[in-house]
Amino acid sequence: MTNALIEDLKWRGLIYQQTDEAAIEELLNKEEVKIYCGADPTADSLHIGHLLPFLTLRRFQNAGHRPVVLVGGGTGMIGDPSGKSEERVLQTEEQVEQNVLGIQRQMEMLFDFDKENGPILVNNKDWLSQISLIEFLRDYGKHVGVNYMLGKDSIQSRLEHGISYTEFTYTILQAIDFGYLNREYNCKMQIGGSDQWGNITTGIELMRRMYGTNDAYGFTIPLVTKADGKKFGKSESGAVWLDSEKTSPYEFYQFWINTSDDDVIKFLKYFTFLSKEEIAELETSVETEPHLRKAQQALAENVTALIHGQEALEEAQRISEALFKGDLKALSTKEIKAGFKDVPQVILSNKTTNIVEALVETKISSSKRQAREDVQNGAIYINGERETDLAYELSEADKYDNAFTIVRRGKKKYFMVNYQ
C-alpha cells in the first residue's frame, strides 16, 4: 500500500536512498513513527546547506509522525569525516557547548514544538560522555569490522590523504546514537543527507548485531545542486547562515530571490511547503512570464518567513523595494546598513566636504575631470538624491548615524562612505 507522505517526497525529489522502501511505507502506514535527524555543532549556527534534511523531517511531523532532533554535542567533539577531504580542526569543549545552544535555538524556528507530536530535542553528549574507552572497545567496537568500515565511502575517500583514528571511529559513535534513540525513544528511522548513508547503515547494522533489532530503517536526501554547477548555499560574501547576525534577513531574502529560472521550481519543491497545485501554477509562470519572477518571489517569501518570521520578511521586502527604486529615504538607518552591508566601503576625511574632491579622495571617480563629468551628467547620487551641483558641500545632514553616507555612481555602483 502506498503512503501519501512517501509519494509527496518522491514528487519533490527528496528521496535518494532507502534501506527498505516497502517496509518503510508499511511502517509509516501503520503507526506514528519517531524519526531522527542530527547535526553536529561545527558552528553556532546552521547554514542553508543544513536545511533540507530538517525541512524533510518537518514534513514527517506535518504528516503525523514525531521528529527526534539531535544536536551532536558529543560527536561534535570528534568531527564527521563524511564529505571532507581533510581532517577537521578540533574545537574546545566550551566552543562546542556554545554552538549546541545556538543550534538548539534555531530548531525552534524549523519545527512546531507546541503540537502533540512536537520534536524530542536531544544532545548525544548526554550518553556518549558516559561510555568509557573499555566499554567502547568491548561493547561496540567488537561488533564493527574494520573491513566493513573501510567499505564506507566516507572513510574510503579519505584513505589516500590520511584519516586519524579519531575520525575513523566517528561512524561508530553515530551508530551508537541510533541504537540509543531506538531503545530509549523507540525511534525506528533516521534521515540525513546523501553523505550520511554510511553512518546510517552502520547504525542499523550495529543494532542488528548487538540487540537483534530488525525494525530500524533509514533513507537519505539528495545533495542539493545548482543547474550552473556552482555549489549551493554560497553567496558572494560566503555561507548563507540561518543566524540573522551572520546573514541578515535581507541578504537571506536576496539569496533566494536571485535563484535562476532553471533551479527555482526544484527549490520550491525542496524548501517550501507549497502544494503541488501552487507549484504547478508557478512553474507555468516561469515558462510564460519569466520576467515577473513570481516563482522566485514565492520561494524567497516562504523560506525567509519560515526562518526569520513575517516581520523580518516584510523588512527585507521593504529594503529590496526601496533599493530598486533608489528611495533610500524610505529606510531606517538599520535597514540601510543591512541593505548595503556588502557594497564597497571607502574612507573620507571629515575635512573634505566638496563633492568633487570627495569623489576623487574615495576613488569613486578616477580623477577630478571624471568627477566633474559624473556630477554634471547626473551620475552621482547622495543618499538616493541626484546631485548635479559642482559646488555641493557634504554636511552632517548627509550622514547616517553621523558616521556614513551612501553614494551611488551610475545605475548600480553603490559605495558606503565612512568618515574619519
| CA–CA distance, 241 with 249 (Å, rounded to integer) | 10
| CA–CA distance, 213 with 205 (Å, rounded to integer) | 9
CB count within 10 Å of CB 292 equals: 11
- DSSP string for 224-253: PB-TTSPBTTEETTEE-BSSTTTS-HHHHH
The answer to whether 140 is annotated as binding is no
Positive or negative CA dihedral for 43, 48, 52, 56? Answer: positive
| CA–CA distance, 190 with 52 (Å, rounded to integer) | 14
The answer to whether 170 is annotated as binding is yes
The answer to whether 36 is annotated as binding is yes
- Name, in order, each residue with C-beta under 8 angstroms of 45's C-beta and a sequence gap of 6 or more: 102, 103, 106, 241, 242, 243, 246
Largest Cα span, the chain: 86
Q: Do 220 and 200 meet the contact criterion of CB atoms below 8 Å apart?
A: yes
Amino acid at 394: L
Tally the C-alpha atoms within 13 A of residue 290's C-alpha that lie toward its C-beta: 10
Residue ranges for the known binding site for L-tyrosine are 36, 170, 174
Residue ranges for the known binding site are 36, 170, 174, 234
Residue ranges for the known binding site for ATP are 234
